[in-house]
Amino acid sequence: MKYLLNLPLAIAALLQAWFVGLVVMPSPWPGWEDGPSRGAMVLVMLEPVVLAWLLTGISIFGVLLAGGFDWLPIRPRWLRIVVVLGGSMLVAIFAAPCVFAAMATSAAIGVIDAEPLPVILRMSGTFAVTVVPFVVIGWLAWLIDAPPHLRDAAPCRLAVAIGLAIAVISGGIIGGEALSDEIRVSRATAERYREWEDADKATLNAEYAKAGDADRLFSWRRYTDRFAPKDIRQAALQRLARRPTLETDLAAALASGDADESDYALFLVQQVQFTPTVALEAPLREAISRISRKIRTVREPGSGNDFGSYLDDWFGEHLAAALAAARKMADGPGVDLRSSLHELQDAVIATYPDSKAAKSYPKQVAALEKHIDSALAAHPKAG
């Protein structure tokens, strides 16, 4: 029965021979000379070597069960299996970088690393994944087919040990250098990004220092949106809270025909710490109604596809800002914006019934209604 293990070994040897043939190709396949095709050749070359190693691993397990490693000074059978399979996996991991070193010597691919490896290291890496696998496959076949009194011949084990040592050492050095290069490139890239961010922040700081209360409210968006540095954003929101014409400017922006400007004003009502007056009631109602109309316009109720994620991704901030504005108006001037929230809620449910907002927003509105009831009850009555 153990002789059936020769089958996966034979297939592994054929696959390994295929890989070696690709490595020693004198030139690319016709039509594969361009960059994308060279990239595809990397995958073509990886397939046989990966399959060969997998079949070799299966054969090692079979040889273990057939008693081919009984010469090891490890008595518990389970521990012998763990040691051999674990050691095989470690060798494969260490030797893996040698595969890319071997592919880099192929004319079908050319040099695939930014800095070519030293000649000796490239030669040892190529040897480790072109010749050594045949040595291992031959040794496994020997363990399966050789007479018992010859199976444990020391020269065979010595040849395999030397081959595996070359693979592990070469792969370790190649992989270590590749890792060092990757770390160096990552650090250099991160440093460049930091320099760009510092330059952008310095420019933004300079522009922010020139901003004043006479500037258009919408021009402050770059200092207060989520992409602005946290310190600039907090400082800008505090300055806006002290702006003498804040409420007048908010009312004008909320009623603007520019949807982006109106949206920004609604976000500011939520973000800026101030107490609004009844003057903002009509502009806020119109801004919230405009969002409701936009939600219904983007996708007609009852249309074929729901695309609920679109609402959640693009209108989530608007829904939250409307809730915050309604809370502020109830706490401040005692204005009830629940009808506007219901209009917005109905648009969400009718147009995007399968969205997350369709399930969560009614609960949020209901919770806020209780707060509005309390706020209005505590608000002093006019006259």
Q: What is the pLDDT of residues 279-312, one digit of tens each?
A: 999 999 999 999 999 998 876 555 555 566 888 8
Number of domains in the chain: 2
Q: 116 falls in which pLDDT band (50, 70, 90)?
A: low
* Dihedral sign for Cα atoms in the order 350, 364, 330, 214: negative
- Asked, for residue 321, whether it belongs to a domain, the answer is yes
Assess whether 231 and 354 both reside in one domain.
yes
What is the per-residue pLDDT for 19? Answer: 92
pLDDT (tens digit per residue) in 160-191: 999 999 999 999 998 888 888 889 989 999 99
pLDDT of 67 strictly over 60: yes
Average pLDDT over residues 76-83: 89
List b or e across 37-46, with b for residues whose CB sees 16 or more CB atoms inside 10 angstroms.
ebeebeebbe
Assess whether 156 and 219 both reside in one domain.
no
Domain boundary among 160, 193, 226: 193
- Cα–Cα–Cα angle for 242, 257, 238, nearest 5°? 15
- Asked, for residue 245, whether it belongs to a domain, the answer is yes
Cα–Cα nearest to 347, from 314, 298, 275: 298
Mean of per-residue pLDDT scores for the chain = 87
The residue with greater pLDDT, 158 or 39, is: 158
Assess whether 98 and 216 both reside in one domain.
no
Identity (one letter) of the amino acid at 209? A
Assess whether 189 and 215 both reside in one domain.
no
Question: Is this model's pTM higher than 0.75 or not?
Answer: no
Residue 227 burial by Cβ neighbours in a 10 Å radius (0-12, 13-18, 19+): exposed
- Asked, for residue 205, whether it belongs to a domain, the answer is no
Rounded Cα distance between 324 and 271, Å, is 9
What is the per-residue pLDDT for 101? Answer: 84
- Asked, for residue 203, whether it belongs to a domain, the answer is no
Domain span at residue 172 reads: 2-193
Q: Do 277 and 328 contact (CB within 8 A), yes or no?
A: no
Assess whether 231 and 128 both reside in one domain.
no
pLDDT (tens digit per residue) in 190-223: 999 999 988 988 999 999 999 998 899 999 999 9
**Alpha carbons within 13 A on the beta-carbon side of 345:** 17
Domain boundary among 145, 160, 193: 193
Least confident of 269-283, 293-307, 348-362: 293-307
Q: Do 137 and 9 contact (CB within 8 A), yes or no?
A: yes
Assess whether 173 and 274 both reside in one domain.
no
What is the per-residue pLDDT for 78? Answer: 87
Average pLDDT over residues 42-65: 90
Q: 381 falls in which pLDDT band (50, 70, 90)?
A: low
pLDDT (tens digit per residue) in 223-238: 998 888 899 999 999 9
Assess whether 15 and 150 both reside in one domain.
yes
Q: 382 falls in which pLDDT band (50, 70, 90)?
A: very low
Quick one: three-class SS letters along 212-280? CCCCCHHHHHHHHCCCCCHHHHHHHHHHHHCCCCHHHHHHHHHCCCCHHHHHHHHHHHHHCCCCCCHHH
Average pLDDT over residues 31-39: 60
Least confident of 149-153, 272-276, 318-322, 351-355: 149-153
Reported residue count of the chain is: 383
The whole-angstrom distance between residue 334's C-alpha and the CA centroid of its chain comes to 46
**C-beta neighbour count of 158 within 10 angstroms:** 10
What is the per-residue pLDDT for 114? Answer: 42
- Asked, for residue 184, whether it belongs to a domain, the answer is yes
Domain boundary among 132, 166, 193: 193
- Asked, for residue 52, whether it belongs to a domain, the answer is yes
Assess whether 257 and 324 both reside in one domain.
yes
Q: 74 falls in which pLDDT band (50, 70, 90)?
A: confident
Rounded Cα distance between 342 and 239, Å, is 33
Q: Do 326 and 338 contact (CB within 8 A), yes or no?
A: yes
Assess whether 147 and 41 both reside in one domain.
yes
Q: 383 falls in which pLDDT band (50, 70, 90)?
A: very low
- Asked, for residue 204, whether it belongs to a domain, the answer is no
Assess whether 174 and 279 both reside in one domain.
no
Assess whether 238 and 357 both reside in one domain.
yes
What is the per-residue pLDDT for 92? Answer: 92
Q: 362 falls in which pLDDT band (50, 70, 90)?
A: very high
- Asked, for residue 201, whether it belongs to a domain, the answer is no
Rounded Cα distance between 131 and 163, Å, is 8
Assess whether 245 and 184 both reside in one domain.
no
Average pLDDT over residues 241-267: 94
Average pLDDT over residues 124-139: 91
The residue with greater pLDDT, 176 or 40, is: 176
